[in-house]
Chain A
Amino acid sequence: MRYLKTSEAAALLNVSPNTLRAWERRFGFPKPQRSPGKHRLFTHGEVAALRDALQEGLSISSAISRAREGLAADANSLVGALASYERERADAAIEAALALRSVERSVEEVLLPTLDEIARRYTVESAAWAFAAHWGSDWLRRAMRLTPPPVRQVSIVLGDASRDELDRDAPYIRALELFCVRAGVKVLSLSARGVAGIGDAAAVHRPNLVVVAGGHLDDDTVARWAYAIRLAVGAMPLAIYRRGAERPRVRATGTTVLPPGAGDAQRTLLELLESDQIATASASAAAAELRAQGRIARSHR
C-alpha cells in the first residue's frame, strides 16, 4: 500500500493542497487516513483513480462518482467470487482492494459489505454464506497473524458471545479484533461461555478494558463471565459490541455501547483506553503529590 502526503497527492492531481482539502470537505473523497502525527495520508490508488476520472469528467462531482464506481468494483467482484465458491478469485479480489486501500478500509469497505450482501442475498442458512463466512474469518485471522507485535501498554479482553463463525456478527468481531491489534493494542479473545480458569487468563493479561461482543449468548451467561473477570482483576470499564440494540437490558450502568461499524468501534475503544490511561495517570500524579506533601509536612515537623 502506497500512501501520499497532501502535497504529493495535490501534485499528482495538479491542484493545490487547499483544493484537495476542499474536495475532502465537500465530497468526502479522496478520503485520507491520518498518520500518528495527525497528518493526512491519501492512498495512491484513490488519487490515481480520481486523476484518471478527471480527464474524462464534466465536473468534480461526476469524476468522483466515476472514481468511486471504479473502486466499488472490488466489492462486486468479491461477491461474485464468493457466490461461485472460488477461493482463489476471492483472494485475488481482496488483494486488488488492498492495492487501493489500507487493510482497515479494505475490510470496512469491501470485505464486510460483501459478507453482508451474501447474507442478504442468500440468507445465513445457505451454503454460500457458510463458504463466505469461513473465507472471511480465515482471511481476517491471516491478516491478524501478519500484524506486528503490540506497541501500546494497553490491553483488552474480548469476550466473544457470538454463536460460531457462521454468526453474522462474527466477521465484525474478528474485524474489531484485527483493527485493535493493528492499532497496537494487546487483545485476548476468549469465548464468553468459558468461565473455568478465566481468572488466571485475566491475571496474566492484566486488561485495561473488557469488551463483550456478539449477541448470541444470553445476558446471564455473559454476566457470569464478566463477573469472573472482575473477581480476578477488579473493577474495570466494560464495553459491549453488537449485542443487539433491541435486546432489553436490566442494568447497563457504566457500560459503553460501541457503534456497530468495526472502524468506529475501534476508534471509540481507543478513546476509552486513552481516557482510562489519562485517569490512571492523573490518579497516580495526585497520589504522588499527596505523598510529596506528606514528606514535606513530616520534614517541617
Chain B
Amino acid sequence: MTTTPVEPEALEAAFEATIARHDRIEPRDWMPDAYRRTLVRQMAQHAHSEIIGMQPEGAWIGRAPSLRRKAILLAKVQDEAGHGLYLYSACETLGVSRAELTELLLTGRQKYSSIFNYPTLSYADVGTIGWLVDGAAICNQVPLCRTSYGPYGRAMIRICKEESFHQRQGYELLMTMMRGTDAQREMVQESVNRFWWPSLMMFGPPDADSPNSARSMAWGVKRNSNDELRQKFVDMTVPQAEALGVTLPDPELRWNEERGHHDFGEPDWEELAAVIRGDGPCNAQRMAHRRAAHEDGAWVREAASAFAERAGAR
C-alpha cells in the first residue's frame, strides 16, 4: 500500500483540531495511543457490563409472575445482549476483536460495573434495577451520545433509546406492585433499600479520587464528572421515589435550598473498592456463569467455522 508520510506533529494537530471543534474522530483517523487505550477500556468495560448484567435479571425470567412480565423481562435481557454486541462492535473498529475482549473479561483483566455483583433476591429487584440501576446508567450514558469517538457515540444513541424503555418498565412494575398487596409493597421497599447505595456507587469514586477523569473530559470521551452525574441522579430520583411511595434509605437526604440540589450521605467507598477488587457478594458466581457459557459454546463456534470453511472450499 502507498502511504503518504505525515509528520507526527501534523497528525496530533489535526486530532486536537477535530476535538476542539467538537467533531467526531472516526476509525481511520490517527489518534494518540492513550486516547485509543482509554476508549477501548471504557467501551469494553461497558460492553462487559451489559453482558454480565444479563445475569441478575435473567435469573428471574423463569419465575416472572405473569406472562406479560415474562415477555417484558425476556425482551429486556435480550436487549442487553444487543447492547453488549453494539459496544463490542465499536471496540472492533479500533482493531480489538471480540474474542480478545472476552478473554480479557474471563481472565479478570477487564472489569464490569460493580452493581452486577449484587444479588437479586425478589421479583421487585427486576423493577428496582430498571428504575435505579438503568436510571443511573442513563445518566451516565446520555452524555456519551455526544462522545468524540464516532462509532461509540452511534452505539450509545441506539442503546439510550432502548434504555429509556428499560427504566420505564422497571418503574411501572414497582408502581403496579405498590397498588397490590401489603406483601408486595414490602417487597418493593426492601428492594429499594438494598439497591439505593450500590446505585449511587455506579457513578464511580468521588471526583477527587478519579485519576483519569480530567483527561477523558478534555478528549470528549467523558462529558460530565462522577459527582455531577451522581447529583443529577439523586435530584431526578427523589421526586420519583415520592410518587412511588417508597423512602430512600438515607437519613441525610434533604433538599438544600441554597444549592438548589439535594444533599445526601456518603456511599461506603470501602464497599465499592471491595466489590471492584472481586470481593462482592456475586463476583465469583457471575464470572463462573459467563465462563461456562463461553466454554460450553466453544464446540458450536468451531463446528460452524468448520462447516463454513468446507462450504467455502466446495
| Chains A and B come from one and the same complex | no
Which residues of A are in contact with B by a Cβ distance under 8 Å? none
